[in-house]
Amino acid sequence: MEKRWLVHYPPQIPHHIDYPPKRLPDYLHETAMQFGSKEAIDFLGKRVTFQQLYEQSLKLANYLIELGLQKGDRVSIMLPNCPQAVISYYGVLMAGGIVVQTNPLYTERELEHQLNDSGAVVLITLDLLYPKIAKVKARTSLKHLIVTSIQDYLPFVKKLLYPFVQKKQNQPLVHIEERDDQHLFKRIMASAIAKEINVEVDPVEDVALLQYTGGTTGFPKAAMLTHRNLIANTLMCAHWMYRCQKGEEVILGVLPFFHVYGMTTIMNLSIMQAYKMILLPKFDVETVLKTIEKKKPTLFPGAPTMYIALLNHPNLVNYDLSSIKVCISGSAPLPVEVQQKFEQITGGKLIEGYGLTEASPVTHSNFLWDGERVKGSIGVPWPDTEAKIVSLETGEEANINEIGELVVRGPQVMKGYWNQPFETESVLRDGWLYTGDMGYMDERGYFFIVDRKKDMIIASGYNIYPREVEEVLYEHPKVQEAVVIGVPDEYRGETVKAFIVLKDGEQCVEEELDQFMRSRLAAYKVPRIYEFRKELPKTAVGKILRRVLAEEENKKK
């Protein structure tokens, strides 16, 4: 097929990359050998070097093998961004296990489903989450729990103060008893041996990670991502960011590692490129602003809602964000207004990328420096990545500028869904991943997403794409966040409803928004209903949960 986008590649980005036959942990070993004394992690002031990170990952790997972990066994990691999350991830892979990234915010129901679906035999988690896990453990295949505390990796003074902070924040003080099936992370680090391990792993065929999709539409499915999938996407990312220097950059790690986007663009990239990670366990606007000013990160992968929250902070002008050179936004559409304003304030580049869990996750993005950046576009496919638009009517490749379903193919595309052959066959056809996203390609080879196939609204026979309506809502000076869904309508079949969060101190009425929208959109696309809210339901990475809003509307019937 014609890859017309390749003519836009700057000479520094290769069309093809050689992918060495390595496992993910091999990169940690190489970085520890070359940059052993360099700081790998700064966690609330606690610093861990690459050599320490490697040795502690080895300790955990050896301990897991002593517990009886076999190659291919699944280990659930249920942690926020902290040193233990990185150590656990690489330790499990060193032992030949398969990582199951588990969201710490899961309810008992969601946790039980994921543990049973994956068949995890070990769970590594926080003491604060222990009560929730204890309630479901007996109904799962878990044989061992490894429990850690935020306190385990705090600087000395903060470690002493931590119990008082917990009490002030009304966090439970949980005491964990060591037993045959319960183990303390800090004891493992104190007693285990950091001897080399060589588990035979086929990087191309062997699964490294079960990454569950976001769960915005019912129970999540687990994408099987191999070592090659994850290495390929990380190498693509490194080549795309060709001005970033190995061993020189500082990356802000606030996107959670249990989400594939944070895992690839922060954790795996930092290990491969010897970047220093500044880890924050959760996104808090004030903390992020203070951290950027004090720690001077140069890279800040994030989600649109994060950038929006920063831009709308009342004291934004008091913070120096000029260290930021590069931000790649993912997980949700990036409003153009947000992109432009953030670049003005930081002086850095904020570009929109596109990806999905099933592709490790990135497949497209705009150019950071030397290539053309197209307004409203997700950019062009990354090296070795093919993409096309398929017509929903004919199933054939669509014409230029014709809307259809985006499909992609490349070394980062998953092996399939865990234990779900029917679901796998429905999205993987002849190596092509059918994304479920509607979009088009222009004559230059730039791609545009108009919306999720299932989110498209059909009102009076017209196709309405929520993203287009949301982009216009974000242009209104009083709007901080907006999301649009289709709701049942007796006359039109469906009609457009907008949920709005206003900026602090602003007031607005439906009539004002209606006039604004009618001056910018065809009448059939203009929302007929507006609902003002203080906040919108979101996933852990800030993706607005359209499904939750739709379910609320359905209950009103």
pLDDT in tens, 223-272: 999 999 999 999 999 999 999 999 999 999 999 999 999 999 999 999 99
Do residues 460 and 395 share a domain? no
pLDDT in tens, 445-465: 999 998 777 788 888 777 788
The pLDDT assigned to 453 comes to 74
Find tokens 């729990």 and name the residue.
145
Please work out, in degrees rounded to the nearest 5, the angle formed at the alpha carbon of residue 322 by the alpha carbons of 321 and 327. 80
Question: Coil, strand or helix: which one is 12?
Answer: coil
Q: Residue 338: which residues within 8 A CB-CB, separation 6 or more?
A: 304, 307, 308, 311, 350, 474
Residue 83 forms part of a structural domain: yes
Last residue of one domain, picked from the residues 427, 453, 479: 453
Find tokens 């906040």 and name the residue.
535
Do residues 54 and 117 share a domain? yes
Helices (H), 377-420: none
Last residue of one domain, picked from the residues 453, 487, 521: 453
Find tokens 């992370």 and name the residue.
185
Do residues 182 and 69 share a domain? yes
The pLDDT assigned to 162 comes to 75
| Tokens (6 digits) for 86 | 């990185």
CATH of the domain at 541: 3.30.300.30
Do residues 447 and 462 share a domain? no
The pLDDT assigned to 187 comes to 97
Find tokens 């705090």 and name the residue.
154
Residue 232 forms part of a structural domain: no
DSSP 267: I
Do residues 292 and 313 share a domain? yes
The count of domains in the chain is 3
The pLDDT assigned to 490 comes to 79
Do residues 314 and 441 share a domain? yes
**Residues 254, 328: Cα–Cα separation, whole Å:** 13
Whether 353 and 329 have beta carbons less than 8 Å apart is answered as yes
Do residues 290 and 331 share a domain? yes
The pLDDT assigned to 1 comes to 63
Residue 228 forms part of a structural domain: no
Last residue of one domain, picked from the residues 426, 453, 480: 453
The pLDDT assigned to 6 comes to 97
Do residues 425 and 501 share a domain? no
| Tokens (6 digits) for 335 | 């409003």
Residue 29 forms part of a structural domain: no
CATH of the domain at 448: 3.40.50.12780
**Residues 334, 76: Cα–Cα separation, whole Å:** 31
- Identify the bridge partners of residue 362 per DSSP, sorted by sequence position: 355
Helices (H), 67-107: 83-94
CATH of the domain at 110: 3.40.50.980
Do residues 326 and 467 share a domain? no
Residues of the chain with pLDDT under 50: 215-217
Closest CA to 360 of 272, 242, 268: 268
The pLDDT assigned to 451 comes to 79
Do residues 400 and 465 share a domain? no
Residue 33 forms part of a structural domain: no
Do residues 385 and 473 share a domain? no
The pLDDT assigned to 219 comes to 64
| Tokens (6 digits) for 429 | 């056809």
Sign of CA dihedral 433, 434, 437, 440: positive
Residue 18 forms part of a structural domain: no
Residue 16 forms part of a structural domain: no
Residue 158 forms part of a structural domain: yes
Query: Kind of pairing, strands 529-532 and 493-502?
Result: parallel
Note down the domain range covering 111. 46-201
Do residues 263 and 287 share a domain? yes
**Residues 537, 546: Cα–Cα separation, whole Å:** 8
The pLDDT assigned to 223 comes to 97
**Residues 532, 338: Cα–Cα separation, whole Å:** 20
